[in-house]
Every structure is written in C-alpha cells, then in structure tokens.
Structure 1
Amino acid sequence: MPTPLPTGPLVTRDGISAQLRAAGVRTGVTLLVHSSLSSLGWVCGGAVAVVQGILGALGRLGTLVVPTQTGDLSDPELWGQPAVPEEWWETIRATMPAYDPRLTPSRGVGVIPETVRRWPGALRSAHPQTSFAALGPRAAEITEGHATDCRLGERSPLARLERLGARVLLLGAGYDACTSFHLAEYRTPSPLVEVGRPAPGGGWEVVTEVSITSDGFAELGHDFERDRPVVRGTVGAAETRLFPVADAVAYAEKWLPLHRPRELWALHGRE
C-alpha cells in the first residue's frame, strides 16, 4: 500500500509570520511561546521554519522566549513515564550528568523549544529543571539570574517577563502548558517540597522548593479566557491564543485559592 499523502494544510515560514501578525503578534514585543508543531499541519521546513516564522513576525527588536525544561533531571523514585526498577535508583542518582545549559536537551516541551535552544545566539537560563531559552535583544535580561532554587517564581524568567510586559502565545498548545500560571503558585499559600537532582559538582543534591502542579490549569484557562481579553487566531491548522503574562498571573493569583482543593496539594506534597 502506498503511503497516503499528507492532508495539510501546507504551512510555510512566510505564511506563519503573516498569520501571527493577523493573530495579534506585533513587531518588537517579547513573546513567550508554548507550542505544538504537529497541530500546525504540514510545515515546509518543520520546526526551523516555525522559528523563522515567529522571528519574522517579531522583527529584529522582538524577543522570542520558550520553556526548555528538563524534568528528567530528577529523582528516579518519582519517575512514571517510564518508571525504573528500585535497584537502579542509587546508581542513577550517583551517575546522572548534571545540567549544562549548552548541552542538556529539553524534554517534554516539544521540538520547537529544542530548536530555539540550539539556535545561534540563543541564551538559556540556569535552573537545572525549569530553564527558558531566548533569542533577541532582551534575551540576556530575561535569562540571567535564574536562581537554582526557584523553578518558576520571583527569581525566574517568568517574573522578568511579567515586568517587561511580555505576552504569551499558545500556538496549538492548551492552557495546561501555560507556565505563567505557575508564577501565581509562588504568590499564593503553597506547600514546600524537597526536590532531588544531580549536583553541579557531581553526586546528588536536594533543594527545598515551592510545590507546583499544572493540575486544574485547563479549567483555570477556560475561566481566564471567559473573563479577560484573549486574542484568538489561527496559524495553519492550529488555534492560537495571545494575552499578557501579567494578566494571566494576576487572574491565577485570585483563582487558585478559590478553586484548588487542599487535597490536591496533599497529592503533590513531595516531588
């Protein structure tokens, strides 16, 4: 049987730029992008064309920011996708390579962020599990100083993006991927957890962090979109949503204490 032809739509670099402008992206802005390449259709040039298209819409004065998280640099006792045998845990902790912003690939955030991470001139923040990469004139300002004991809080790129008036673009991604909501978790009563990871000098370290979870973010996003201005559009076959980081954080700060049950925190009391 011959391989069936792709159904499209056919998406090009220039088409992405034009459709992003039509969806509200303005030249010169700072844009935090959460994305799904497969949602776009058949992209001529793949993830590289998508990044070129976004940069084209932003222009030379704009800055592109993406999450480049590395959740696999964590305690194997907590792994589930897939789990590993208990007798492996201590060996994994002793031998896991430490985070290196130049070498460690992102995981679980898609091929577009990984493409940005490897782009010439890209800068990446220092947190070993929740880093961000950025391209553009504000890249250093956004990525520098990411505290290694502050995943997504006041000493992370998220807080800088909020202060800079950055916008979030959900490009075929849902609100469950919206990292801006996590900044609100740091500003509402949240439990602390012990987080294990490979230490920079070798071996294993444990740091105390704010507990974070994206559970409930889809419902939070639904209510946010109902109550606050969100610009909706289309790029290829993907739906887009565009809104300020500050709006998302402010709304989540009020929403989370009212809607997130205490039992949920109990489930995430250890990460």
Structure 2
Amino acid sequence: MDELALLKRSEGPVTRGRIARDLTALGLREGDTVMFHTRMSAIGYVSGGPETVVGALRDVVGERGTLMVTCGWNDAPPYDFTDWPEAWQAALRAEHPAYDPLLSEADHNNGRLPEALRRMPGAVRSRHPDASFAALGAEAAELMADHPWDDPHGPGSPLARLVERGGRVLMLGAPLDTLTLLHHAEALAQAPGKRFVDYEQPVSENGQRVWRRFHDIDSSDGAFDYSSVVADGHDPFEVIARGMLAAGIGRGGTVGAAESHLFEAADVVEFGVAWLERELGGTPG
C-alpha cells in the first residue's frame, strides 16, 4: 500500500503523540507491562515508523513500565534439516552460526516491531533461539531470564512471567490469530492429543557453539488438531479471541486507523485453557 493510501486511511500522518493519546484512551496505563503485536499498515501512515510506535508506547507506560515482543529467529536452521542428505547435514552442523540474542534477527514474519525493539539500547532478549522474546523497560531482565530450553511456552517462560506480573496484551492493528499468549494456554491445557515437536539448533554455551535439542508444543502447525471444533478456513486462535471479546473480556478501540484490543494476560490464559479443555475433551493426552 502506498503512502497516499495510508495517509487517506488514517486521515493524515499518525504521529507519536496521536498514538500515545489513542493508547491511553484504549486503557494502557503508566507502569503497565505489556506484550504487543502490531500490523503497521493497519495503523495508517506512521510518521517515523517502528521508532514512533515504540516511542509512543514508552511514553504511555513510562519508566516503570515494560514492553515485550515475540521474536523467534529468522535465520534458524530448518526443522527438517535432519532429513537432508548426510553431507548437507554435516555442512550445516559444521558452520551454521549459533543463535546470538544480540545479533540474530527476529523472525521477519513477526513484522518490523520486534526487530526494532530488540535492537534498542537497554532491550533484553531471551536465550531460547526458536521461541525467543525481547523486552524493554523496568522488568525486562526478569521477564527474559533463564528462558526454559524445553517447553519454552510453558511454566517459567516469558509468557508465564507476563501473567504472573499482571501483564497485559495489546493487539495494535494485528490480526487476532497472532495472539502468541495463547501458546501458553496450549502448553498448560490438559486435553487429549497434544502435539509436540523435537528439533535441533545451535546455541552458544560457555563461549562454544553447540547443537542443542529442544522439545516443545507444535506452535507452527498447532498444538492440537482443531479440525473438529474450528470450521475450515478459520484460525483457532482467532476463534478463541473472538470468544473472549464476546464474553466481555478485553477492551477495543482505534489507534490511528487500526482496530485494536487490550487484554489482561491472566484473562487470556484462563479463558484459553478453559476453552481448550472444554472443546477438546479436558483430559490429559
């Protein structure tokens, strides 16, 4: 979409001050710890791009607040490289760079904001290569510390700590199916048929590049088979999020030109776990 179209959509440039005012009207407060997901084009023409959005968020939450994003690792080795011919595997194992929280780019599929935030002075990124998060602000170090190697969306994860600290989730023009915190609900839910993945990625330990094996819920193809409870063409996370909104959970408003929502993290997980256990059977798999 070109600049003129974005300007028309948002009725002029969306400035740092305008975003801050809209976020305040939505209910974001000073001192909040908030994980946010953003689709820049939905906001309109943002004067200054990602720096403006992060600046506006920091203006609202203040020095006592914390911002958090999901990063991942854009250049991680493919999950299925272990199916490659042995010579190809050997070449990858010999030279693929280790994940570096300071240098490894955030997954481009997560948009521009995670990469912008994780590169800002004072930002802290978690140690897990595939499920990394980044945070900036008063509680950044505590949120990111000792990210579990296995079950990185479950207990002890940055997502779990977001809930424990009374955090919030902001969908800033982002589709509801990108509500990453619902992976934490999947990790916690006691329902049959939970799907897991095992994979290998290189990390740095004591200054040495080593290949480590990881175990996690299948956050790419789905931790459960949702086909019996979600109609074809519909994303289960969007269905769950729409259910939350219909139940009066969360607040809606407009930031720039973007339809946006603000949720309490604990409410998302409580509703998500209850929905999963109710719809999928409610007994351990």
RMSD: 2.6
Task: Name which of 14, 39, 42 aligns with 1:39.
Answer: 42
CA distance in 2, matches of 1:233, 1:78: 44
**Structure-2 change in CA distance of 1:12 and 1:193 (3 Å):** same
Q: 2:153, 2:216 within 8 Å by CA — same for their partners in 1?
A: no
Task: Name which of 21, 24, 49 aligns with 2:24.
Answer: 21
CA distance in 2, matches of 1:236, 1:54: 13
List, as ranges, runs of 4+ consecutive aligned residues in structure 1 with deviation greater than 4 Å: 84-90
Which residue of structure 2 lines up, in the alignment, with residue 193 of structure 1?
A: 197
- The 5 A counterparts of 1:95-114 are 95-107=95-107, 108-114=109-115
Shift of 1:176: 1.4
DSSP-derived class of the 2:4 partner: coil
Q: 1:75, 1:93 within 8 Å by CA — same for their partners in 2?
A: no
- The 5 A counterparts of 1:52-63 are 52-63=55-66
Which residue of structure 2 lines up, in the alignment, with residue 206 of structure 1?
A: 213
Shift of 1:76: 4.8
1:242 aligns with 2:262: yes
Residues 106-126 of structure 1 deviation map (CA, whole Å, 9 limit, x = unaligned): 012111111110111111111
Q: 1:73, 1:197 within 8 Å by CA — same for their partners in 2?
A: yes
One-letter amino acid matched to 2:111: G
CA distance in 1, matches of 2:146, 2:269: 21
| Number of equivalences | 257
CA distance in 2, matches of 1:168, 1:4: 29
DSSP-derived class of the 1:135 partner: strand
Which residue of structure 1 lines up, in the alignment, with residue 177 of structure 2?
A: 176
TM-score by length of 2: 0.82
CA distance in 1, matches of 2:32, 2:59: 12
Shift of 1:164: 0.5
CA distance in 2, matches of 1:228, 1:74: 42
- The 5 A counterparts of 1:1-271 are 5-8=4-7, 9=10, 10-70=13-73, 72-77=75-80, 88-107=88-107, 108-189=109-190, 190-200=194-204, 201-202=208-209, 204-213=211-220, 216-260=236-280
DSSP-derived class of the 1:25 partner: coil
CA distance in 2, matches of 1:4, 1:134: 30
CA distance in 1, matches of 2:3, 2:47: 17
Query: Structure 2: which 5+ residue stretches go unaligned?
Result: 223-234
CA distance in 2, matches of 1:7, 1:207: 42
DSSP-derived class of the 2:24 partner: helix
**Structure-2 change in CA distance of 1:90 and 1:40 (3 Å):** farther
Residues 96-146 of structure 1 deviation map (CA, whole Å, 9 limit, x = unaligned): 211111111101211111111011111111111111111111111111121
Determine what percentage of the aligned residue pairs are the same residue.
38
**Structure-2 change in CA distance of 1:199 and 1:137 (3 Å):** closer
TM-score by length of 1: 0.86
CA distance in 1, matches of 2:80, 2:195: 20
One-letter amino acid matched to 1:57: V
Shift of 1:86: 9.5
**Structure-2 change in CA distance of 1:240 and 1:86 (3 Å):** farther
Query: Structure 1: which 5+ residue stretches go unaligned?
Result: 266-271
DSSP-derived class of the 2:209 partner: coil
